[in-house]
Amino acid sequence: MLWLVMKPERLYRHFGVDVFHLRTILLIKLAMDDRTATGINKVRSSGGKGETKLATAFTMVMAFIMGLTFLFMFFLDDDLSRLTLYLASFGFMLAMFLVTDFSHILLDTKDNYIILPKPVSAETFLTARLLHILIHISKILVPLAFPGFVAMWVSRGILGAFLFIPILILLTVFTFAIVNALYLFIFRLFSLRKIDSIITSIQIGFTALLYGSFQVLPHLLDRTVMESISLSDVWYVWILPSYWFACAWKMLYSFQFDLPLVIGAFLAVLLPVASFWVMVRYLAPSFLSKLSMMTATNRSEDSGKRKIIRAGSSGGVMGLFGRVWTRNNIERQFFFFVGRMVVRNRDFRLKVYPMIGYMLVLVGFMVFKNWDEINFHAADIQTSGLTMPFLWAMYLSGFMCITALYQLPYTEQYNAAWVYFTPPIERPGILLRASLKACIVRFFFPFVVVVSTLGLFAFGVKILPNLLFGFGAVLLGVILYAWMLLDKLPFSFPLKKANEDNFSIRNMFIILFTVIFAVPQYFLFEYDWVLLGISVLLIAGALYALHIMRGVGWNDVKWG
Amino acid sequence: MDPLISIRNLHKSFGAKHVLKGIDLDVYPGQVIGYIGPNGAGKTTTVKIICGLISDFKGEIHIKGKDIRKDILSIKQLIGYIPETNDLYDVLTPSEFLTFIGALYKIPADLLTARIERIFGALGMSGHLDQRMDSFSKGMKQKVLIASGLLHNPEIIILDEPLSGLDANSVLVVKDLIHRLAKDGKTIFYCSHMMDVVEKVSDKIVLINDGVVVANGTLSDLRMQLGDKSLEQMFASLTTGHISSNAAISIMDALHLDSSPRHD
């Protein structure tokens, strides 16, 4: 790749670029890219510094797989509809990759310290930055577009495929300008820390979307429906820029010059050129000045914008449970501490939240897939066709809670765990129990409330024994998991250890527990009194396990 | 007088690496000990063992006559630990963090709130009590850690590089604080690289190198043994081998190798 972009050496020299400097800068930047966990890599990566290898290869493979999933749009018969949908998905995915994978290049203020003080000309510096961005985009673009290119070749021949290339380039320029504008917009409105948290949230959403779409898209392949779709019949398709790009391709491929096609093609060329011009002329300078301002601003001077967080006792649901469900002040404060950390700690959020999103997509998909067979007005759940989604929703809440507990000990700030060891705490069991309770309130109770409300609303109190049994079993499962396998204090281990630890034991535990409880529940669905009787035992067992967890001693916990 | 901290033949290994090789040390009440040594000498390991962060070591440690292995809880109540800046969960606010720490020492809520507000006010941080620490400078984080180590009014205060990132005014406050704490009868165990500060605040200096104590005494004791040198010079003479004493000369030689820049 580097060899390719370094080819027009003469041209670079003509513009006053020092080719030796240029190559040196690009070489080091590409090496750094490969070792930096960004975007989806951050979710995947094992964490610790220096641990990330082959980040580029992973991103490329992910982009290629995404490119493959778009192929189902080639089942559409109508060229315009197919391309409109394909290009819309392509543009969206590219924008997502850019937003999540790109922030470290756009926000790289280290250049200002490291390269600018050295005798490197402004031309060389700017060219290096542009080429770096170009290389970075093509690492995503090429694998993402490749499956579509091949499919185009197969379905519309070599001409169709090669006409596709300029269309994709125009779309890329357009997307790039939009993402740039988005960044600028975020910069204008928010502080540095807020930006970081916004990008993290986009990363989380994007990862959940990726997991979810791998699961859902293949099931949507209903050819008979797909073949009959025609978007060109509706006027509002013009709102989609991807339709204009599709028009441009169709005009060139079929050599038809109908007015709508010409207008579309005109817009497809005008838009990227205009947006590129706006970007270079207006956005880029203000972006760079904003960036250098950010570098120059001392963090402590930023204090005016800092949000005030009321401390002391925690408010809301956590505050309520903290007061009624903890035995003493140590347990209560630790409960608040973990409750805050799980919503604020970036490492934890990046690992756990996408999984939650993914599981929600899964439940939603189960309902959606059987939509035709579901009868919301049925007298009971068995005849409504909702038995399986209902069971899934209940037991998945347990998986979510266990995922959160599994991930709880790992963070890059594990050194801060000295706080558990210097105070005179007799047994860490009380800390583990408080962590468990905080996770139950944060990750389990919301599902109990939502699923119970929906269930009771749709089927009345008849559903109650099943709710009690299912959630009782999950509660017991979660507490037993913590009692048997949670041997590390929260946020006390380096992230890289998360992958080495007993991941498979956790999965075994989940499977075993599901087999023992979910399967019998499926068969006992109608036997209310049996379910009720067992529920009482399950909940009593859960509370007892929670009680004895307090006795866990210092020798039973590990510290990174 | 019995020593407050008594360390005998302390050994600690991490795998095959022998970090502490028989440390012997007595610290008396009200003393300020400057515990110095080059990187990797074993300073932090010693501190972590005294604070109860590392429990598998060889040797004997008694604090206020209590065996650290048998009576760790009451010993922890005596010690206030102030670690390095990065050792902090910075997504919390100082108020949340300090309330949490205070609860672990079972400080009554009213007293805790009053202490936090007073200490924060004295450190010039009152306006930052309810802001998240991830936007704090290094110095501000260090002040939060200083407050966290003093909250329970401990008898022994262990400071690990407490001045890192602090501005000149705050350095003065901390130095003054160390004197006042010592006057109040507190015992201070001060680990640092900053020789000039150690020289000024310490009653007694303990220099360790490669896991063993190589010098132990007051500054004047050390001057009697090693000649009339500054602490910096004593440090250099006792820890040679870590960096060559001719390092500066070697660097100058490297610069004179070829001074013409590369042209492309």
Indicate whether B73 belongs to any domain.
Answer: yes
| B2 and A CB contact within 8 Å | no
**Residue B52, CA distances (Å) to A261, A492, B208 in order:** 76, 16, 20
**Residue A203, CA distances (Å) to A196, A200, B2, B225 in order:** 10, 5, 60, 62
ipTM: 0.78
Q: How far apart are CA A469 and CA A394, in angstroms?
A: 10
Residue A163 burial class via C-beta count within 10 angstroms: exposed 0-12, middle 13-18, buried 19 and up: middle
CB of A265 closer than 8 Å to CB of A244: yes
> pLDDT, tens digit, for every residue of A172-221?
888 888 887 777 777 777 766 677 777 778 777 877 777 676 666 666 55
* Cβ pair B132:A193 closer than 8 A: yes
Asked if residue A482 and residue A418 are part of one domain, the reply reads yes
* Cβ pair A341:B73 closer than 8 A: no
| A167: number of Cβ within 10 Å | 21
* Cβ pair A341:B91 closer than 8 A: yes
Question: What's the total number of domains in chain B?
Answer: 1
Enumerate the residues of chain B whose CB falls inside 8 A of the CB of residue A424. Answer: 72-74, 76-77, 105
Q: How far apart are CA B69 and CA B46, in angstroms?
A: 15
Enumerate the residues of chain B whose CB falls inside 8 A of the CB of residue A306. Answer: 128, 131-132, 135
* Cβ pair B51:A329 closer than 8 A: no
Residue with the larger pLDDT of the pair A218 and B38: B38
The pLDDT of residue A501 is 63
The pLDDT of residue B124 is 87
The pLDDT of residue A298 is 40
Most confident listed range (A26-40, A272-286, B118-132)? B118-132
| A113 and B CB contact within 8 Å | no
| List of residues 6+ apart from A440 with CB closer than 8 A | A401, A475, A478
CB of A147 closer than 8 Å to CB of A68: yes
Q: pLDDT band for A430, please (50, 70, 90 cuts).
A: very high
Which range marks the domain in which residue B234 is found? 5-89+154-193+213-240
B6: alpha, beta or left? (left if phi > 0; alpha if psi -120 to 50): beta
* Cβ pair A309:B93 closer than 8 A: yes
* Cβ pair B83:A299 closer than 8 A: no
Q: Which long-range contacts (CB under 8 A, 24 or more apart) does A514-521 make?
A: A514/A395, A517/A395, A517/A469, A517/A470, A517/A473, A517/A477, A518/A391, A518/A395, A518/A470, A518/A473, A521/A391, A521/A466, A521/A469, A521/A470, A521/A473
| A62: number of Cβ within 10 Å | 20
Indicate whether B162 belongs to any domain.
Answer: yes
| B148: number of Cβ within 10 Å | 25
Tell me the three state secondary structure of residue A110: helix
A99 token code pair: 């937003």
Tell me the three state secondary structure of residue A376: coil
Q: Which residue of A has its CA nearest to B50?
A: A422
| A329 and B CB contact within 8 Å | yes
Asked if residue A337 and residue A279 are part of one domain, the reply reads no
The pLDDT of residue A302 is 44
Asked if residue A280 and residue A223 are part of one domain, the reply reads yes
Indicate whether B27 belongs to any domain.
Answer: yes
> pLDDT, tens digit, for every residue of A145-157?
999 999 989 988 8
> pLDDT, tens digit, for every residue of A461-481?
888 999 999 999 999 999 999
Q: What is the 3-state secondary structure (H, E, C) of A409-438?
A: CECCCHHHHHHHHCCCCCCCHHHHHHHHHH
The pLDDT of residue A424 is 92
Q: Which residue of A has its CA nearest to B141?
A: A300
Position A327, amino acid:
R
Q: How far apart are CA A414 and CA A410, in angstroms?
A: 7
Closest CA to A443 of A481, A411, A396: A396
The pLDDT of residue B224 is 86
Residue with the larger pLDDT of the pair B205 and A134: B205
Indicate whether B94 belongs to any domain.
Answer: no
Indicate whether A208 belongs to any domain.
Answer: yes
| A494: number of Cβ within 10 Å | 20
Indicate whether B15 belongs to any domain.
Answer: yes
CA distance A413 to chain B (A): 7
Q: How far apart are CA A508 and CA A495, in angstroms?
A: 22
Residue A279 has what DSSP assignment? I
Indicate whether B109 belongs to any domain.
Answer: no
Out of B51, B103, B262, closest to residue A329 by CB: B103
Enumerate the residues of chain A whose CB falls inside 8 A of the CB of residue B127. Answer: 303
Residue with the larger pLDDT of the pair B1 and B264: B1
CB of B23 closer than 8 Å to CB of B2: no
CA distance A491 to chain B (A): 9
CA distance A335 to chain B (A): 10
* Cβ pair B134:A193 closer than 8 A: yes
A7 token code pair: 């080819």
Indicate whether B232 belongs to any domain.
Answer: yes
CA distance B234 to chain A (A): 32
Indicate whether A33 belongs to any domain.
Answer: yes
Which range marks the domain in which residue A490 is found? 316-556
Q: Which residue of A has its CA nearest to B100?
A: A333
* Cβ pair B103:A332 closer than 8 A: yes
> pLDDT, tens digit, for every residue of A230-277?
666 677 778 778 888 888 888 888 888 888 888 888 888 888 888 877
Asked if residue A277 and residue A231 are part of one domain, the reply reads yes
Interface test with B, best of A327, A336, A422, A493 (most B CBs within 10 A): A422
* Cβ pair A422:B264 closer than 8 A: no
CA distance B90 to chain A (A): 9
| Residue at which a domain ends, from A261, A296, A331 | A296
The pLDDT of residue B243 is 56
Q: pLDDT band for A16, please (50, 70, 90 cuts).
A: confident
The pLDDT of residue B33 is 95
The Cβ-side half-sphere exposure at A179, using a 13 Å CA radius, reads 24
- Whether the pLDDT of residue A362 is over 70: the answer is yes
- Whether the pLDDT of residue B154 is over 90: the answer is yes
Asked if residue A117 and residue A175 are part of one domain, the reply reads yes
Indicate whether B254 belongs to any domain.
Answer: no
Indicate whether A309 belongs to any domain.
Answer: no
Question: What's the total number of domains in chain A?
Answer: 2
The pLDDT of residue A371 is 73
Asked if residue A377 and residue A286 are part of one domain, the reply reads no
Q: Which residue of A has its CA nearest to B79?
A: A422
| Residue at which a domain ends, from A296, A327, A354 | A296
| Residue at which a domain ends, from A296, A328, A346 | A296
Q: Are strands B32-36 and B187-191 parallel, antiparallel or unpaired?
A: parallel
| A19 and B CB contact within 8 Å | yes
User: What is the H or E stretch that residue B24 is in?
Assistant: strand B17-27
The pLDDT of residue B58 is 94
- Bridge partners (DSSP) listed for residue B35: B191, B206
Beta strand extents in A168-272 (DSSP E only): none
The pLDDT of residue A48 is 41
Enumerate the residues of chain A whose CB falls inside 8 A of the CB of residue B87. Answer: 415-416, 418
Kindly state the average pLDDT of the residues A330-344: 93
What does the mean pLDDT of chain A come to? 80
The pLDDT of residue A515 is 85
CA distance B211 to chain A (A): 23
Residue with the larger pLDDT of the pair A36 and A16: A16
Q: What is the side-by-side strand order in the sheet with B5-14? A: B17-27, B5-14, B58-63, B66-67
Q: Which residue of B has its CA nearest to A119?
A: B261
CA distance B5 to chain A (A): 16
> pLDDT, tens digit, for every residue of B174-191?
888 888 899 999 999 999
Indicate whether A305 belongs to any domain.
Answer: no
* Cβ pair A421:B101 closer than 8 A: no
The pLDDT of residue A47 is 42
Most confident listed range (A214-218, A256-260, A351-355, B220-224)? B220-224
Out of A191, A300, A341, closest to residue B89 by CB: A341
Indicate whether A304 belongs to any domain.
Answer: no
Name which of A232-236, A454-458, B12-16 the model is least confident about.
Answer: A232-236
Q: Which residue of B has its CA nearest to A426?
A: B73
Residue A396 burial class via C-beta count within 10 angstroms: exposed 0-12, middle 13-18, buried 19 and up: buried
CA terminus-to-terminus distance, chain B: 73
Share of chain B above pLDDT 70, in %: 95
**In this structure, what CATH number is given to the domain that contains residue B174?**
3.40.50.300
Closest CA to A134 of A27, A34, A2, A7: A2
Q: How far apart are CA A550 and CA A548, in angstroms?
A: 5
Asked if residue A164 and residue A31 are part of one domain, the reply reads yes
The pLDDT of residue A533 is 92
> pLDDT, tens digit, for every residue of A503-523?
677 778 888 888 888 888 888
CA terminus-to-terminus distance, chain A: 41
- Scan residues 98-117 of B and list those with Cβ closer than 8 Å to A: 99-101, 103-106, 109, 113
Q: How far apart are CA A101 and CA A150, in angstroms?
A: 26
Kindly state the average pLDDT of the residues B213-223: 90
CA angle (B3, B8, B11) in 5-degree steps: 140
| B127 and A CB contact within 8 Å | yes
Asked if residue A269 and residue A363 are part of one domain, the reply reads no
Kindly state the average pLDDT of the residues B136-145: 88
Share of chain A above pLDDT 70, in %: 79
The pLDDT of residue A227 is 59
The pLDDT of residue A303 is 42
The pLDDT of residue A373 is 73
> pLDDT, tens digit, for every residue of A63-74?
888 888 888 777
Q: Are strands B5-14 and B17-27 parallel, antiparallel or unpaired?
A: antiparallel
Residue with the larger pLDDT of the pair A295 and B248: B248
Q: How far apart are CA A153 and CA A162, in angstroms?
A: 8
